[in-house]
Chain A
Amino acid sequence: MFSAFDQIFTPENLLFLLKGALISLGIAGLSLLFGLILGILGASAKISKNVVLRAIGNVYVEVIRGTPMLLQIMIIFNVVPIIITQLTGQVFRMNYYLIGVIAMSINSGAYTTELIRSGINGVDKGQWEACETLGLSRWQTMKLVVLPQAFKRIVPPLVSEFITLIKDSSLISTIGAVELMNSARAIGNQYYEFMSPYCLAAVYYLVMTLTISFIAKKIERKLAESD
């Protein structure tokens, strides 16, 4: 099963996998960041008083959460080059990483929308009423009272979202991006042995996810102190 382990377990190959792991981490990190921006927009739309905005927010969340991420990646992979070619008039040179980040950001944004929305809704409505009686505007209430409280509820699930993104970034190996998953496959192809590189990749994934959840637990404990 691990017939070529000795040949594969070399500093060069480990470094090659590390590079892949860092790319996975980078793609997940960027997707989390842009997803957060989309999530803030999405949550604002979903809690707004405007019916059209609310509908847009709902459709976005339901469509993205109701379809597989792999399918979304494939659609973006096919659609984005066409749009860019149409806009610029030049043939778009495919960048797999960019496509990956776009697809995963859109995906993550839907989940983050719900995280933020439920974080805001989870703040006791008495807080809104107290602000109302003190004469604060809706926006002041949101900014100074509700969001700081919602933030605490949002951080822990946002960290889980980050972990999910790191794992799901393996999906963009299907469109040719050389992240951790594809790096492992490349090594496998080279030595005609896949178990060793895949298991090594698993270790890299675990180091990333476990480290992040360890940090998350620390943050959570810190945030809980002022409750």
Chain B
Amino acid sequence: MIKVEHIVKQFNKLKAVNDVSLEIKKGEIVCLIGPSGSGKSTVLRCINGLEIPEEGQIYIENQLFNSNNKEEYTKLRSKMGFVFQHFNLFPNMTVLENLTLAPIQVMKKTPEEAQKIACQYLERVGLLEKKDEYPNKLSGGQKQRVAIARSLCMNPEIMLFDEPTSALDPEMVIEVLEVMQELAKEGMTMIVVTHEMGFARTVADRVIFLEDGQIIEESQSEEFFSNPKTERAKIFLNKVMH
């Protein structure tokens, strides 16, 4: 479904992503893990087009993801939902307005239709009663659940999560992970950049371990955690599992 071939992304002189290739199948849940600055978020942002790699190609459903071909690019992009570390909800709109903005503006749905769908997704993330609140009245965990619902309203086939729980207080991590787990069960294709090793181990099908902009190890998640092959993965796991 997604194929990344030899992408390179530089910031100034630093190669944040250095020759990364990977493939994600439909329905698969893949976690990108690694130390800070390993380039995992940048890989994810390249897949969505938030960063444009200098070298290499990305294919979405066998079609070249190329920003020069505007129409095709927009179409491919609309297949992907993106969840940010810092939620990026629109503070000037209510929860419901946050969810209906893009369906009305981009998919040209009627407000009634958009609201109906938005309410369904809010119900699913357990926040229907907050629909008329402004984001500043929500807790971090609630904000992130709203952000996930907002992405789902665009009916994506792939969900990309960029450290969705890293900005949350510890007691709120679980409610967000539960929503993601729910999505995984329904067969959503997901790529998750995360520091939540428990989630990676139990929910992900596959784990990709990056360091210094390169893929160091890639294996089935259970195997990665119980029997890491590379020395660097072992060192990393020793540091984060305690």
User: Which residues of chain A have a CB within 8 Å of any CB of chain B?
Assistant: 124, 126-127, 129-136, 140, 144-145, 148-149, 226-227
Q: Which B residues lie within 8 Å of A227 (CB)? A: 91, 136
Is A134's CB under 8 angstroms from B92's CB? no
Digitize B134-148: 1 where CB-to-A-CB distance is under 8 Å, 0 elsewhere.
Answer: 101000000000000
- Measured CB to CB, the nearest residue on chain A to B78 is A135
Q: Quick one: given A145-B90, A145-B92, A148-B92, are A126 and B84 in contact (CB under 8 Å)?
A: yes
Q: How far is the CB of A224 from chain B (nearest CB, A)?
A: 11
A129 touches B105 (CB 8 A): no
Contact between chains at B50 and A129 (CB < 8 Å): yes
Closest to B106 in A: A135
* Residues in A neighbouring B134, C-beta threshold 8 A: 226
Q: Which of B91, B136, B150 lies in contact with A134, CB distance below 8 A? A: B150
Contact B48 A133 (CB under 8 A): yes
Q: B77 on the interface (CB 8 Å rule)?
A: yes
Please list 9 pairs of residues, one from A and one from B, whose beta carbons are closer than 8 Å in the complex, sorted by A's number.
A133-B77, A134-B101, A134-B151, A135-B77, A135-B102, A144-B105, A145-B90, A149-B92, A227-B91
- From A126, A136, A145, B106 is in contact (CB under 8 Å) with A136
Q: How far is the CA of A151 from the CA of B91 in the complex (A)?
A: 13
Contact partner of A130 among B49, B90, B136, CB < 8 A?
Answer: B90
B88 adjacent to chain A (CB < 8 Å)? yes
| Chain B residues whose CB sits within 8 angstroms of the CB of A144 once the complex forms | 101, 105
Closest to B85 in A: A126
Tell me which residues across on chain B come within 8 A of A131, comparing CB atoms: 102
Tell me the bound Cα distance from A167 to B232 in angstroms.
68
Shortest Cβ gap from A173 to chain B (Å): 43
Are A136 and B91 also in contact (CB < 8 A) when A126-B86, A130-B84 are?
A: no
